[in-house]
């Protein structure tokens, strides 16, 4: 995501308080919203899925539409629309693991 100047705090708050249905979805592993520390306004929504098909099923599900709506049920007042905070629409990128290193 490329967030417009002056919208970063609101963007982060929307993501921190949004209603999530990820844990209910088959194939979901984990989610993180990452903030770039050397490029202002750059964020990455990182989700891990068992398969790309699992992600696509989530992205086309009613739960996805509900959690990305500015009219979500978890809001007391209408939540700001994150698209209004961006310099353009997000573009999904897909990666496969080549190698990992872990402390575990």
pLDDT for 44-78, tens place per residue? 999 999 999 999 999 999 988 877 765 545 444 56
What integer pLDDT is reported at residue 48 of this predicted model? 93
> Could you count the other beta carbons within 10 Å of the beta carbon of residue 38?
5
Q: What is the pTM of this model?
A: 0.75
User: For 26-47, what is the mean pLDDT?
Assistant: 94
Cα separations (Å) of 14 from 49, 54, 73, 102?
Answer: 23, 24, 13, 31
């Amino acid at each position: 995501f490329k967030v417009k100047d002056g919208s970063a705090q609101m963007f982060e708050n929307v993501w921190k308080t949004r209603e999530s249905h990820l844990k209910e979805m088959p194939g979901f592993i984990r989610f993180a919203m990452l903030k770039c520390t050397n490029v202002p306004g750059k964020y990455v929504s990182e989700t891990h899925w068992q398969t790309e098909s699992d992600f696509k099923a989530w992205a086309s599900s009613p739960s996805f539409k509900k959690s990305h709506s500015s009219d979500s049920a978890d809001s007391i007042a209408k939540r700001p629309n994150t698209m209004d905070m961006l310099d353009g629409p997000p573009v999904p990128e897909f990666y496969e693991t080549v190698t990992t290193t872990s402390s575990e």
